[in-house]
Structure formats: structure tokens, C-alpha cells
Amino acid sequence: MARFISQEKLDKLYDSLHTHNLDFLFLTDSEAHRDVNVKYLTGHPEDASLFVDIKNRQTILIPWDYQLARITSEADRIVNMADYQGLIAATIEVFSESSSSTPKVGIPRGIPYDSVHLITEKVPNTEIIYNPLIIDSLLADLRSTKSEHEITLMQKSVDISNQLVKEIEEIIITQSKIKTEMDLAIFVESRMRELGAFAVGFESLVASSARSWQIHTYPRADPKQSMYQKGLALIDFGVQAVDLTSDVTLPFIMGPMNDKMKTIVETVKSAHDNSIDAISESQYLHEVAEVAYNIIEKQGYQMPHSLGHGIGLTVHDAPLLRKEPTHESMLKYWTPTPIEEGMIVTIEPGIYEKDVGGFRLENDVLITRNGPKVLTNAEPIFIDLN
């Protein structure tokens, strides 16, 4: 499996880290700390340490499974720990080849302490540079736009998602097989694998009107909760067909709508459609987000989350679609995010009211040179409970 990062972006990574006087970037992916950037930079699926040698412009992968890495990974060097009797000796070997007697090693946010301690203990002259504002932001920015290869992989996830939307509508309208929230989650997660998905993008969120106002609603919280209760309900699911995951929210209107429900449904739909249209007319992502927030707030409601986010190797990639901050303490750290070709983002406005439930409509959108291309086909589904 080839790495996901392009050579152009890899060169940008080397150049950017060089300007910060770093000798190495150290990343690790393990059960204790999953870091998808190892996969992004090498294609290796999981369980490996990675040193990005900035001065020599090479990637050095130390996998737990050397044979697997030889098949799946694209790195300048793949180190077999068995040759060094373990990770510690292999790591020391990497640093012994450094041209610097006091190598500066950059690390990202969240890296386990014992991984860092291993380096500082065995290579005592090492200087650890912890600056997530530089390292995490740089990696996130590189992943925020997708290559043609990544877009092709995403399309496989999208195709399965769209088939699932069609089947969910059929099975919910007929009320034939699905009785509870858990039934629907099981159906979706098993069916996507039958359709060719590699894995679920994330644990599905399913909620009848009794719980949908809570935003993040895992069916395991109440496995016997009936889906068919009057009000607003939803399912939020992701399909990982190969490596990139989709993210779709399909809302249901159960039974006849009262005036409040009708206002919520129409407002969310308007926020969804108008914010997608605004992509073509906007320069920055916060301008798109503000379209949706303004529509919702004019109706007297609040949206307690961002309008959307990037998707890719994780379900929450960069960038975020949110309003320009108003508080001075946040503004001084904020810079607007330009809309760029190759971004794949979710558009997911929502309103949540305890007496009628939550209503969120979410689709995945690819930003092209010609404007937004809506990839998924979620629409509100009306269910007659009579």
C-alpha cells in the first residue's frame, strides 16, 4: 500500500520542519495511542514508530510486524526490530546515524510519555521539542486536502453510504425488520460490510425522538428503545470502504409534524442547502458556517456544534467549519481557513429540542475547482406511524 501523502506535500513537510530547526519528527501508532499520521506518511496500517529524518529527507519506519510493513508500507527505510533485539536498540541505531550530536526531535500532541522517555533515556543528548501548534497544525493542514487517489478511495465509501441510505429508507418506512434503535445500528453496520466496507467509520449514533436531542446518542445506552416514537429521530453512520471514511446523518420525521417540528425541519434543511450553495460564493470556511448559524439563529434556535468538519483517514480530519470567534482571547490565535480544492467536508446543521427531539441533516461535500460536489444523498425521511 502506497503512502497517502504526495511527494509535493512530503517536501513541504520537510521544508516546514526544517525552518523550525528540527532534526527529526517522531510519531508512533500503538494500542495506547493511535496516530493516523503514520499511515498517512507511509501507508502502514498500524502499530509502528516513525522517524522523519528532516536533514536527510527520509522516513524511517520501525514496525512491530516487519513482514507486513514490507508488503504494505512505503518508507525510505524499514527497520526490522529483530535485527536489533527490540525497539530500544533500533531507535538508538536511528539516532546514531544522525549528523547532530544533540538531535532535536519534534513530537505531536498526545504521544505517550513512555515513548518519549525511551528516547530521552537511551539517547541522553536528545532535545525534545513539544510544540503541537506547529506539528499538529502542519500535519492537519497537509491532510485537509485530498489527492486524486484519496478521492477515489472516498468514492467507494460514498457509494456504499448511498446504497445504505436507500435501504434504510425502505426498511424504516415498511417498519418490517427494525424495531429498536439497536436493531437499526446492527442492520447498518452489518449491511455495510456485506456491501464491501472494510470497517465502520465510527460507532453508529441512532436515536428516536426520546433521545435524539442529546446530539451524540449511542444505542447501547438503551438497547430496547423503540425507533417508532412520534417526533424527530436520526441515524449518524460512517462507512470505511478502504481507508477513508464517510459520515452521513439521516433524519426521520416520525408521525405528523406540529408547528415547532415543521419549523425545525424547514430551518435545518434551509441551513444545509444554503451553506452548500455558499461554498461557491465564499473565500473562507467560516463564511460558509455563518450562513447556517444565521439561518438557525433567526428562528430563535442555537446550533451547539460546528457546521461540519473534514473527513478522510479519520472521521474528524481538518478543517473545521465554524464561526469566527468573538472572544478576544480566542481571536488572537485564530486565522481564517481558506476554501481549497480537494477538501472533503461534512455539512451537518442541527437543532435539538427535548420535547420534539433532534434534527440533523448531514452530507459529505467535495470542493472542486468548479464549486461544491455533494457526494452523499441523505434527505429527511417522513414515516407514517398510523
CATH number of 7-143: 3.40.350.10
pLDDT of residue 124: 76
Instruction: Select from 11, 112, 109 the least CA-distant residue to 52.
Output: 11
pLDDT of residue 98: 64
Q: What is the dihedral of CA 319, 320, 322, 324, to 10 degrees?
A: -50
Residues 6+ apart with CB under 8 A from 72: 1, 43, 44, 45
From 120, 227, 225, 217, select the one nearest 172 (Cα to Cα).
227
Instruction: Looking at the structure, give the CATH architecture of the domain made up of residues 145-383.
Output: Alpha-Beta Complex (3.90)
What are the pLDDT tens digits along the chain (386 aa)? 689 999 999 999 999 999 998 999 999 999 888 999 999 999 999 999 999 999 999 999 999 999 999 999 999 999 998 888 777 777 777 777 666 678 889 999 888 888 888 778 877 788 888 877 789 999 999 999 999 999 999 999 999 999 999 999 999 999 888 999 999 999 999 999 999 999 999 999 999 999 999 988 999 988 899 999 999 999 999 999 999 999 999 999 999 999 999 999 999 999 999 999 999 999 999 999 999 999 999 999 999 999 999 999 999 999 999 998 888 777 877 889 999 999 999 999 999 999 999 999 999 999 999 999 999 999 999 999 87
> How far apart are the C-alpha atoms of 218 and 223, rounded to whole Å?
9
| In the chain, where the domains are located | 7-143, 145-383
Whether 143 contacts 135, CB under 8 Å: no
At residue 105, the 3 state secondary structure works out as strand
Instruction: Say if residues 348 and 361 touch (Cβ distance below 8 Å).
Output: yes
User: What pLDDT score does 117 carry?
Assistant: 82
What count of other Cβ atoms lies within 10 Å of the Cβ of residue 194?
8
- Global pTM reads 0.93
Helix H or strand E encompassing 136: helix 132-144
Buried b (16+ CB within 10 A) or exposed e, 342-371: ebbbbbbbbbbbeebbbbbbbbbbbbeeee
Amino acid (one-letter) located at 14:
Y
